[in-house]
Amino acid sequence: MSVPILAIHGGCGVPPKGTLSGEQERHAREGLKDALRAGWAVLEEGGQALDAVEAAVVALEEHTAFNAGRGAVFNADGKHEMDAAIMDGRDLRAGAVAGICRIRNPIRAARAVMERTDHVLLIGHGVEALAARAGLELVAPDWFSTEDRRASLLQMKALQARGDSSQASERLKHGTVGAVAIDRAGHLAAATSTGGYTNKLPGRVGDTPLVGAGTYANDATLAYSGTGRGEIFIRTVLGHELHARMAYKGESLAAACEDMVFGALKRLGGGAGLIAVGRDGTVALPFNTAGMFRGVASPGEGWVSIYDERETLSLV
């Protein structure tokens, strides 16, 4: 019997402390709390880690503070193209979707791929057809739009026109949401969802739906969800790299995660963060940016954070 634990993130695209308004901070914290409670309610009742991470990510997709689902960023054509993935550490089953624009909760579509097909990754219109057969809700593309994200697109285009796009803040560029969990049976699961990168080329796919890069779960080692510039997560195959370092080198969860975030990923020039829970119940949440929207729940306690502080909360 294991102690159930849930960790969530709302992305490492956080500006320096004092930059977010009080309302923006409050809005994000409330979203993290809602997601933590949604996922924890599953684990507390003895439910599976897979159901817990899906519930947490659905809550984050529904909250406009984060770049996933409603609140997703715009690509260069002013459209939404969202990606998501979910993975079960028990048997390495996984499902992922990419480039979708009408499915209200992309993470539910990813799970449908895992459970209703023989595939791992579906893209575009094929996902919508599957979602319709699975009874998932389809919405108009503008349901995901917010004025804040539209303003970010205009800012990115202005910086690009001046040749200063490299000066864009982490918050302006990207964001992701994710959840990892271990349940009472000791099984691990991970889920990640994103709107991608502001002003990205149409058709760009990041690390989130690539199993082993942005999302990974294996009962032998860890469950992991990444956030940051997806291209560097793809190039380092980060999720599987963490698994390999633990499985073959015997590294601890903390050592493997921190070395990659503050070592290889930083050297590659990208802001990065991640959440992970190990098979022994240890938790790692390193990030090399100004902050990361995050939270952890375990029996009797829960907390959320943006920077260095922690705000405790009731999980009921």
- Positions marked active-site: 176
Judge residue 221's burial from the number of C-beta atoms within 10 Å of its C-beta, 0-12 exposed, 13-18 middle, 19 or more buried: buried
- 209 and 110 in contact (C-beta within 8 Å)? yes
Token readout for 148 is 């804040």
Percent of residues in the chain assigned helix, strand, coil, to nearest 5: 35, 25, 40
Q: What letter represents residue 278's amino acid?
A: G
Instruction: Cite the beta strand spans of 12-59 per DSSP E.
Output: none
* CA pair distance 194, 229, nearest whole angstrom: 12
Residues in the chain, total: 316
- 195 contact partners, CB below 8 Å, separation of at least 6: 67, 68, 69, 71, 72, 73, 80, 81, 82, 144, 149, 175
- 226 and 192 in contact (C-beta within 8 Å)? yes
